[in-house]
A and B are shown apart, each in its own frame.
Chain A
Amino acid sequence: MTEKDQLQQKAFKIIAEAGSAKSLVILALQAAKQQQMKEAEQKLAEARKYFNDAHHYHRDLIQKEAQGIDVQLSLIFMHAEDQLMSTETIIILVEEMIEMYQLIHEK
């Protein structure tokens, strides 16, 4: 496998894992809206797990670059980083929004 193929494969792993995290975190928010707080918490925990896995692939590449090994950039890899970033933002916001739903439901 060429280096380009390897990087493409890592990008795909990041997209799939971060993508799953994104889907789960939105399902968590929808569950919280329906007052299913336990399910929301479960989905959120699952989302965090997927996100951490995606993050590990990314961290490995960053460390490689820090060691002076050139990592060849490609559009698909940038797309993977984009997915990673947007998922991180969504997770942070959804955590807050679930707490908001909890406050609303308690009223």
Chain B
Amino acid sequence: MKHLVLVCAVGMSSSMLVNRMIRIAEKKELEVMIHASGMGDLSSFTDEADALLISPQIHYMEEKIKMKYPNILVMSLSAKDYAEMDGEKVLMQGLALIKD
């Protein structure tokens, strides 16, 4: 099963967006596991994650995260998509990233 992790500063806003993504995934019967994480507990997901989706407030850490986890796909989410809390759009972006 594919595993997406949404990362923000403390894992609060990302967890709300993740809830929406899970609802969409269930509705579409997609085989995907989605978690929210703050920067502090990111390491507890990185053994299994296929892709990390980075929220706008930690865009500046993207390069550091890529260097630390070279085997995981990393993508920054746009402020617009994040602000709109569009679970479907973010989910599809994450799945497209894994597929490529």
Residues of A within 8 A of B39 (CB): none
Residues of A within 8 A of B13 (CB): 12, 15, 76, 79
B79 contacts A22, CB within 8 Å? no
Interface 1/0 per residue, A6-39 and B, CB below 8 Å: 0011001101111110111011001000000000
A23 contacts B16, CB within 8 Å? no
A19 contacts B55, CB within 8 Å? yes
Residues of B within 8 A of A12 (CB): 13, 16-17, 82-85
Task: Decide if B57 is an interface residue (CB 8 Å cutoff).
Answer: yes
B57 contacts A23, CB within 8 Å? yes
Interface 1/0 per residue, B70-100 and A, CB below 8 Å: 0000000001101111000000000000000
DSSP majority for the B interface?
helix
Given A22, A75, A76, which contacts B57 in the complex, CB threshold below 8 Å? A22
Instruction: Please indicate which of the listed interface residues B16, B56, B85 has the most CB atoms of chain A within 10 Å of its own CB.
Output: B56
Task: Decide if B60 is an interface residue (CB 8 Å cutoff).
Answer: yes
Task: Decide if A83 is an interface residue (CB 8 Å cutoff).
Answer: yes
Query: Interface size (B, Cβ < 8 Å)?
Result: 18
Residues of B within 8 A of A76 (CB): 12-13, 16
A79 contacts B57, CB within 8 Å? no
Can you pick out 13 interface pairs between chain A and chain B where the beta carbons lie within 8 Å of each other? A8-B16, A8-B85, A12-B17, A13-B83, A19-B8, A19-B57, A19-B58, A19-B59, A19-B82, A20-B79, A24-B60, A76-B12, A79-B12
> Which residues of A approach B to under 8 Å, CB–CB?
8-9, 12-13, 15-20, 22-24, 26-27, 30, 50, 75-76, 79, 83
Beyond A20-B57, A26-B60, 14 extra complex contacts between A and B, CB < 8 Å: A9-B85, A12-B84, A13-B83, A15-B82, A17-B56, A19-B8, A20-B56, A22-B57, A23-B60, A27-B59, A50-B79, A75-B12, A76-B13, A79-B12
